[in-house]
Amino acid sequence: NAGVMQNPRHLVRRRGQEARLRCSPMKGHSHVYWYRQLPEEGLKFMVYLQKENIIDESGMPKERFSAEFPKEGPSILRIQQVVRGDSAAYFCASSPMDWGRNTIYFGEGSWLTVV
Amino acid sequence: AQSVTQLDSHVSVSEGTPVLLRCNYSSSYSPSLFWYVQHPNKGLQLLLKYTSAATLVKGINGFEAEFKKSETSFHLTKPSAHMSDAAEYFCVVTLYNQGGKLIFGQGTELSVKP
């Protein structure tokens, strides 16, 4: 059973370009979460999605950031017009439906560098 | 609102000596608490979790943590450090009805000297 898969693992973008980060949850998991880890900091919650629905996006920046989890295919975190401050590690996690009795599992992260 | 404070940003121990990583939490309701470990440029691995069952929780790799409601603490311990334990450790809190919305501490970097 493959774990949470994220790609690319490392991404370099110039200021103003777009970054797309992909996350495939563990098999059988229908809930996906995105977290961001800035240098020297802990992870901060960004968004929680189920298939075709955004459940909680309270941690998403108001502009340039969006996330989706389509019926088919991976979840995508999209950052438009990237700036240097977007440089961070972005982690995806997934869980089965009844999270309260289950652990959420993290992917290995995608490191975004904006130059 | 929930929050978590890791009292030490960096802890250094010698191999074979005990490890203590301190964590205090704040929560209006009964929280779920976790410890995760992150090796350099790697994802997070769950060490252990507390979800209102036994207050002494045993995890992987010889780690354990004790939930102390009176002290609002959830310190992580290990009797004997191994070189492979060197990593970043995160204390995490959430409420059962918050889905996967985890609140992370700032992290404690553990160094293990030979």
pLDDT tens digits, one per residue of A51-91: 889 999 999 999 999 999 999 999 999 999 999 999 999 99
Q: Which of A55, A91, A100 sits opposite B44 (nearest CB)?
A: A91
pLDDT in tens, A11-66: 999 999 999 999 999 998 889 999 999 887 789 999 999 988 999 999 999 999 99
Q: Which residues of B touch A21 (CB under 8 A)?
A: none
Q: Which residues of A touch B100 (CB under 8 A)?
A: 31, 33, 48, 93, 95, 99, 104
- A98, pLDDT greater than 60: no
pLDDT in tens, B5-20: 999 999 999 999 999 9
Residue of chain A whose Cα is closest to the Cα of B6: A42
Question: In terms of Cα–Cα distance, which of B77, B42, B24, B90 is closest to A41?
Answer: B90
| Mean pLDDT, residues A89-94 | 94
- A1, pLDDT greater than 60: no
| Mean pLDDT, residues B70-87 | 96
| Mean pLDDT, residues B81-99 | 86
- A101, pLDDT greater than 80: no
Mutate which: B9, B36, B44, vs A, most A CBs within 10 A:
B44
- B95, pLDDT greater than 90: no
Domains of chain B: 3-96 (2.60.40.10)
pLDDT at A100: 57
Binned at pLDDT 50, 70 and 90, residue A99 comes out as low
DSSP symbols for chain A: ----EEE-SEEEE-TT--EEEEEEPPTT--EEEEEEE-TTS-EEEEEEEETTEEEE-TTS-SSSEEEE--SSS-EEEEE-S--GGG-EEEEEEEE-S-GGGS--EE---EEEEE-
Q: Confirm or reject contact between B109 and chain A (CB < 8 A).
A: no
SS3 of residue B43 by DSSP = coil
User: In the predicted model, what is the mean pLDDT of chain A?
Assistant: 91
pLDDT in tens, B23-78: 999 877 778 899 999 988 778 899 998 887 788 999 999 999 999 989 999 999 99
Mutate which: A11, A37, A102, vs B, most B CBs within 10 A:
A37
Binned at pLDDT 50, 70 and 90, residue B99 comes out as low
* B100/A33 Cβ within 8 A: yes
Q: Which residues of B touch A101 (CB under 8 A)?
A: 51
